[in-house]
């Protein structure tokens, strides 16, 4: 019997419409998807499941929920790539990047994307991070 080789992606966002769209889009790419809409739910999932990749919203219950989840995931599973997908730049004008050493030390994400990314772009980034 063949072992299930599908990669599992955790998507965390408090916007239920966006979460549904992302889940559907990522499933259509051929991945298994686990979703959470709160920090607590996401923490519960990572206690019992190691995702192959995580896509996190930045601002949920708190303005830094995504950063907190990044730290918790990387502490438990240092090799899991994390994408932060956020509208923070359009909402606040604040720019985040993870290309400098300094930012990587405190942000802990592997990639920062503005919300509204096209699914084909997202698929390329996921494949790059998962090396598939």
Tens digit of pLDDT for each residue in 27-57?
999 999 999 999 999 999 999 999 999 999 8
Q: Which domain holds residue 42?
A: 8-130
Q: Tell whether 80 is covered by a domain.
A: yes
Give per-residue pLDDT as tens, 2-20: 455 799 999 999 999 999 9
Q: Tell whether 47 is covered by a domain.
A: yes
User: What domain count does the chain have?
Assistant: 1
Sort residue 4 into left (φ over 0), alpha (ψ -120 to 50) or beta: beta
Q: Tell whether 3 is covered by a domain.
A: no
pTM metric for this prediction = 0.84
- Please tell me which of 1-5, 88-92, 126-130 the model is most confident about, judged by mean pLDDT: 126-130
Tell me how many helices (H) and strands (E) the chain has: 6, 5
Q: Tell whether 2 is covered by a domain.
A: no
CATH assignment of the domain containing 90: 3.40.50.2300
């Amino acid at each position: 019997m063949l072992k299930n080789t599908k990669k599992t992606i955790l998507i965390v966002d408090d916007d239920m419409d966006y979460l549904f769209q992302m889940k559907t889009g990522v499933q259509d790419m051929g991945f298994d998807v686990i979703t959470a809409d709160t920090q607590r739910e996401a923490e519960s999932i990572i206690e019992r499941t190691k995702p192959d990749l995580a896509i996190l919203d930045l601002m949920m219950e708190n303005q830094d929920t995504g950063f907190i989840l990044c730290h918790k995931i990387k502490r438990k599973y240092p090799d899991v790539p994390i994408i932060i997908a956020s509208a923070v730049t359009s909402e606040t004008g604040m720019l985040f990047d993870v290309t400098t050493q300094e930012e990587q030390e405190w942000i802990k994400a592997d990639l920062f994307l503005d919300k509204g990314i096209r699914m084909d772009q997202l698929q390329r980034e996921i494949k790059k991070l998962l090396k598939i």
